[in-house]
Structure 1
Amino acid sequence: MHTVWKGAISFGLVHVPVKMFSATEDKDISMRYIHKTCITPLSYIRKCQTCDKEVDWEEISKGYEYEPGRFVLFEKEELEQVNGEANKEIKILDFVHLTDIDPIYFQKTYYLAPGETGAGAYNLLLESMRQTGMIGIAKISIRSKSSLAAIRVIENCIAMETIFYPDEIRSITQVPNLPEKVNVQERELDMAKMLIEQLSTTFDPEKYKDEYRGRLLEAIEHKVAGEEVQTAPEPHRANVIDLMAALQASLDATKKEKDEPAARKPRAKTKKEKPQETVS
């Protein structure tokens, strides 16, 4: 894996040299914009509307628009000075329980490996967090962006989850049409809870597949082979308006799905049964 960051975790006066690796990868199928007339890929051009010409990277700086059409400019060196030396340190501020953090705060996961001289301190932090069941809340800067982070243990690896700052989370009050008071019918609630119980299971990530990506890859293969793209069948949806009827239909459907695998299992042969002879 490619190293995306090098630095150290610090908690108290202990420093743990680490290397950072991205724990996830984007599996999206990349598409390019094509000029349909001549089948040529289109290029991204950095063009100045005032000078009416393409601009080289050497002529580009970053700017903040503080009023419409008015900017303050920052060079790379100025932004680095603002960022300071903290971008080489993951500073643990507190230790908390993982259940204290709402999932809305989580952004991206990274794996942290021990640096060349940090195996002992790395193992100490890993095992102490595992035995206490606590995770660290830290600050880190990656590519000039300051983030909060959760430091936790995954198997025998220290992992880091970047998390949003509180002011980056939009207030629920901005969501339209939320009920002021939740009112439900008792019978409907009981049936909904029964449906949840029937659909409840242990989480197995391997059972979930990206069906869209699979169909897109299949469509690409058909296109390459000069064949027509097959249209995905529309999922069956009953036109049920009554909520009780919809709940009952859902319960019946889930019960049928659970019963069918058992019904399809081959019946075990008894000692009296003989295998059928094949006629050649």
Structure 2
Amino acid sequence: MHTIWKGAISFGLVHVPVRMYAATEDKDISMRYIHKACSTPLNYVRTCPTCNKEVGWEEISRGYEYEPGRFVLFEKDELDALAGEANREIKILDFVDLTEIDPVYFQKTYYLGPGDTGAGAYSLLLESIKQTGKIGIASVTLRSKSSLAAIRVIDRCISMETIFYPDEIRAVDQVPNLPDSANVNEKELTMAKLLIEQLSSPFEPEKYKDSYRAAMMTAIEQKIAGEEVRAAPTPERANVIDLMAALQASLDAAKPASADTPAAAAKSGKGSKKASGGSPEPSAPRGKGRKRTGS
């Protein structure tokens, strides 16, 4: 793996030298823009509309537009000086439970491997996090951007997940047409909860595949071979008007109903406490639906 950052994790007066590596990779199929007339790939060019010429990276600064058309400029060394030691430190501020963090806060995951020194401190922090079941909330600066981060363990590795600051999360009140209150039919609610139970299973990430990427690769291979691209027909969807009928059909499709199944009990109106809506409401999954495992 390529090292993208070197520094240290600090908690209290303890410093743990680490190297940072990208934990994920983009598997998207890359497409280039092509000039149809001659099949030549088009290049991305940085041009200045005033000077009417291409601009190299060495001629570029960073600027903040404080009013329309007026900028204050910063060079890289000025931005680095503003960040100071934060450029080389992941400072743990608090330790919390992972379940207290809503997934909306998470951005990107990085692996943190041991630095050239301090292997003992690395192992100590890793084992302490595992055995306490806590994660660290840290401040970090990457690529001239300050961020919060969650420090936790994935398998045998300390990881860092950058997370948004609270003022970077948009309020749900900005979403149009949200209902003021939940107004649902109790029978439909019971059926929907039964469907959720039937579709529930342990999280097994390996069973999920990128079907669009697979279809694209097949189409690319067909094009290379000079064949006509053949796409699978899109199944027609019925315009469902009866919600109860749709729920029942979904239950039947998820698990064939027999005389003693909850679906059959709900259909016959006889059934258990669960079918009659007597079961407690499922708890809200705040922060518990993380897609990666760890402590």
Q: Secondary structure at the match of 2:230?
A: coil
Distance 1:256 1:223, change over 3 A: farther
Distance 1:257 1:163, change over 3 A: farther
- Give, in angstroms, the shift of residue 69 of structure 1: 1.1
- Give, in angstroms, the shift of residue 59 of structure 1: 2.1
Report if aligned partners of 2:80, 2:87 keep a CA contact under 8 Å in 1: no
Which consecutive aligned stretches of 4+ in structure 1 deviate over 6 angstroms post-superposition? none
* Letter paired with 2:160: M
Q: Aligned residue for 2:36?
A: 36
Moved more, 231-240 or 106-115: 231-240
- Give, in angstroms, the shift of residue 61 of structure 1: 1.1
Q: What RMSD over aligned residues (CA atoms) do the two structures have, in Å?
A: 1.4
Q: Aligned residue for 2:103?
A: 103
Separation (CA, whole Å) in 1 of partners of 2:227 and 2:21: 41
Q: List aligned pairs for 1:49-198, cutoff 5 A.
A: 49-198=49-198
TM-score, normalised on structure 1? Answer: 0.89
Moved more, 239-248 or 52-61: 52-61
- Give, in angstroms, the shift of residue 4 of structure 1: 0.8
The one-character-per-residue Cα deviations of 1:64-104 (angstroms, maximum 9, x if unpaired) are 11111111111111111111121101100000000010000
Separation (CA, whole Å) in 1 of partners of 2:182 and 2:87: 46
Report if aligned partners of 2:86, 2:141 keep a CA contact under 8 Å in 1: yes
* Letter paired with 1:229: V
The number of equivalent residue pairs is 258
Q: Secondary structure at the match of 2:131?
A: helix
- Give, in angstroms, the shift of residue 154 of structure 1: 1.1
- Give, in angstroms, the shift of residue 63 of structure 1: 0.8
Q: Aligned residue for 2:283?
A: none
Report if aligned partners of 2:61, 2:73 keep a CA contact under 8 Å in 1: yes
Separation (CA, whole Å) in 1 of partners of 2:41 and 2:4: 30
* Letter paired with 2:191: M
- Give, in angstroms, the shift of residue 237 of structure 1: 2.2
- Give, in angstroms, the shift of residue 56 of structure 1: 2.4
* Letter paired with 1:11: F
- Give, in angstroms, the shift of residue 47 of structure 1: 1.1
Q: Percent identity?
A: 75
Separation (CA, whole Å) in 2 of partners of 1:163 and 1:174: 21
Separation (CA, whole Å) in 2 of partners of 1:207 and 1:123: 32
Distance 1:257 1:11, change over 3 A: farther
Runs of 5+ consecutive residues of structure 1 not aligned to the other structure: 259-280
The one-character-per-residue Cα deviations of 1:224-279 (angstroms, maximum 9, x if unpaired) are 00001111221342321111111111111112499xxxxxxxxxxxxxxxxxxxxx
Separation (CA, whole Å) in 1 of partners of 2:186 and 2:216: 44
Q: Secondary structure at the match of 2:8?
A: strand
Moved more, 238-247 or 171-180: 238-247
Distance 1:236 1:208, change over 3 A: farther
Q: Secondary structure at the match of 2:255?
A: helix
Runs of 5+ consecutive residues of structure 2 not aligned to the other structure: 259-295
* Letter paired with 2:11: F
The structure having more radius of gyration, on CA atoms, is 1
The one-character-per-residue Cα deviations of 1:121-154 (angstroms, maximum 9, x if unpaired) are 0111111111110000001111111110000011
* Letter paired with 2:110: Y
Separation (CA, whole Å) in 2 of partners of 1:116 and 1:46: 39
Q: Secondary structure at the match of 1:177?
A: coil
Q: Secondary structure at the match of 1:202?
A: coil
The one-character-per-residue Cα deviations of 1:168-193 (angstroms, maximum 9, x if unpaired) are 11111110000011111100000000
Separation (CA, whole Å) in 2 of partners of 1:67 and 1:30: 37
Separation (CA, whole Å) in 2 of partners of 1:172 and 1:30: 34
* Letter paired with 1:193: K
Q: Aligned residue for 1:268?
A: none
Q: Aligned residue for 2:232?
A: 232
